[in-house]
């Protein structure tokens, strides 16, 4: 899986137009069946997302320190996902991101997550909405000239899946 995971990441990183995801491991949701799992072969906060039935790596999901001041305050934690094109449109990103939110709030005990999504990435806007995030601001990334929406989800507003 590790070599396949590296090739998925490399192919997604090579062409931004070919990748779908927000800018930034975990364990699957407890208490409900899932079609994706998080590989323990990578150390969190980023981990491989795999199809349970086949073990195929379809991308990466996780959390990381948000290092995009002044858009977000120092110390913020960003959730993100990046899936191979073949995995788009099947609900995998939403399922994997929801599992990361569950892990981040229930295990790591984070108080807040953010996601930074480019305006033209409609699929990632939908994922952020489906996992309960709310748009906090629309802004331009300094130095890059890229417009983004910044989403937020606080632990107090999060509903555990079980």
Measure Cα distances from 9 to 50, 58, 61, 86, 149 in Å. Answer: 13, 9, 11, 13, 24
- Note the pLDDT of residue 80: 94
What is the largest distance, in Å, between two alpha-carbon atoms of the chain? Answer: 44
- Note the pLDDT of residue 161: 62
- Note the pLDDT of residue 61: 94
- Note the pLDDT of residue 162: 54
Q: 9: which 2 tokens?
A: 């990441």
Measure Cα distances from 33 to 86, 95, 148 in Å. Answer: 22, 10, 33
pLDDT tens for 49-79 read 989 899 999 999 999 988 777 788 888 999 9
pLDDT tens for 94-110 read 999 999 999 999 999 99
Strand, coil or helix: what is 114? strand
Residues of the chain with pLDDT under 50: 1-43
- Note the pLDDT of residue 90: 93
Rounding to the nearest 10 degrees, give the CA dihedral for residues 160, 35, 10, 14. Answer: -80
Residue 100 near residue 62 (C-beta atoms within 8 A): yes
């Amino acid at each position: 899986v590790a070599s396949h995971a590296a090739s998925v990441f490399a192919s997604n990183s090579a062409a931004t137009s070919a990748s779908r995801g927000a800018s930034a491991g975990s364990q699957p949701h407890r208490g409900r069946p899932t079609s994706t799992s998080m590989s323990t072969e990578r150390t969190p906060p980023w981990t491989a997302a795999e199809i349970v039935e086949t073990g195929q790596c379809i991308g990466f999901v996780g959390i990381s320190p948000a290092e995009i001041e002044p858009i977000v305050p120092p110390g913020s934690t960003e959730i993100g996902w990046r899936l191979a094109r073949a995995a788009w449109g099947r609900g995998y990103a939403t399922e994997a991101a929801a599992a990361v939110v569950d892990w981040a709030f229930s295990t790591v005990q984070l108080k807040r997550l953010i996601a930074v999504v480019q305006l033209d990435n409609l699929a990632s806007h939908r994922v952020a909405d489906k996992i309960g995030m709310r748009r906090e601001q629309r802004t331009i990334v300094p130095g890059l000239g890229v417009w983004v929406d910044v989403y937020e989800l606080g632990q107090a507003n999060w509903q555990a899946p079980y």
